[in-house]
Structure 1
């Protein structure tokens, strides 16, 4: 049976979804219900559902944060959003988290079941694919090569370094040409991985995907049958993205501190968020950004990020359910020891002492 988890803070909405769904027809079992994102994460960790249906606006860990965590930790889970809010930030997170369907309330039974049918078919196809795929397709060496160059390519795209990007793509091509067993399924995987990387980069920087892809519409419609054609296609798309971002950089005449603050409010749980990352993203020097932000908000960038993380950590601790290690990761600290030090410096007591009251 395919397992589904329903997440919504309103009981009547959960009941509506349970009533409307053709569960037996699609071979689905409702494994549980959750009233918020925190409860949902506990269910997911224990029960490993195949599909999660979630609301967006909930107390505590809301749907946007839940989608981000699930997409990062459990990418195999199919996601359906059922929300009363047609909000850009919610839609943007849904895109980033590769949500399968975004349904607007009030829930329509036909739309819900179409979404369930789509998700169950994907789950079944992926299970069949796992059984059929050859060992060469998931070989350790090939996976390592793809992962290494994805990181390198992302780095040059972040820096808007066209020469570095093109050189890294050429090196990637040279390395792949030496790998045995590059059949059509492997080439399709490589093409998908690089295209997805570029799409995520565009969305992350609040750009319009269509601006980059539409001007290369003919190229996008081509299906790469050879390694050379795949590399060429993505070099053109990467160049278009970098040139577009550089154009925006020249066009931007001043720093919008409110926009930067809002960006931090949305992304303070990202462990990589820093003054340097923000300066690069908003095309301004670190020195100027630091000085301007402190002048307006009476604290520096790092202090603001730490403050947001600590207040969020306190809320999660008060709920008294998640492990402290999990809370540290959820607010942007991969090193739990470092989280303890920052927490104690900020609140003058340890996380354990705060939880005990």
Structure 2
């Protein structure tokens, strides 16, 4: 809240100014009054104010002298002058000193309030300009620091820029920590201003090491929107205290953003290039691993064992493809949700192995589509950091793929025909009879058959055979299952009858089709 001070040698005017308008309404707090310029100057020295409303003609020190003296110590203070008709020459001097307005006595309240509104507008513009200036300064500082940790700036240039920007350099040790805020649906920049977030993160980190007076904290966002925190000090033991508080910092950042935070500690460095090496090591962890996603904060060292990278994922692709072809979404989702967590028991999950398995699961589903769009498989992978997020992505892609492949535009069909199509979809591997189904629907089989032929363009038996041969084709192409087994799986008990039906609808035999695709 802004502060105002009144100065007038007439006590009634000085006191009356406090009640002449609603100062709180304008965001202004009354800090006091004085009856002469000298007393006012002493009070203002002790407690600076934003606005002074002063008379001109006063004992000991007049209003013009007061304005000069206050401007010397507080140049941003603003002034409104109260004057009489005979004091206009003094008013002209006041104008040269930079007053906001002069108001004749007796005071016109409307004019006073209009002047206050004008001053308030100036204050708001000054605040905005100051914010922009500070924001530009923070962006410039972040850019220099980013170039430093990436090794894109020469030592001498960095030292010169650091001096200008107030970046502390005269310390022996630098501890690098990188805090990755896990947001797999939206980028951090869409949820928070990165520079504003780094400023808050810096404050949190400083508070966590507040007992260490000799530790400086530098915080800035890097190009990936991760928060880089550098703890600089002259004593190695201070860096151990930093480590103890890193998890506290991660917890506070998580609470502030309401998102999980993954923190990685780099090695302690003592020279210009060492910070770059420490930063690269910490960032490498985010590229090499996923986390389970079940904890709000995860803390890791940047040097991790290599053997975890060698794990190999093994899963029954044929069984999975059969589930896809059968079109049972619940069974497919159950398979995915069991296969990925079972592969990796550690809290640190090798990213490459896990992503390869996930991609295999998604591509197996997309390959069954007539016109697959593979972009959705890969588009989100770079932003996924957790196993939970990866499973959700795989399930989402596979479900959409199955819906695309199995979609029949049922709204074009009447209710009874739509029911028949659904029966084929669900029970194609079983004995299907129009007579049996018509009894369930309480309709004459001949009428139901004519209705189906009219709307679908095929007889019911032809539609069933088409559907079975389509499923058989997918199994022949995408699995190594024997032809006799495939025939039984799609509803043909007699293998020779299956061969005849397959050649009738596909134009080639099952063996010939598999040979063409294998070749």
Q: TM-score range by the shorter chain?
A: 0.3 to 0.5
Bigger radius of gyration: 2
Task: Between the two structures, name the one with larger relative contact order (CA 8 Å, sep ≥ 6).
Answer: 1
Q: Which of the two has greater helix per residue?
A: 1
When you count strand as a share of all residues, which structure comes out higher? 2
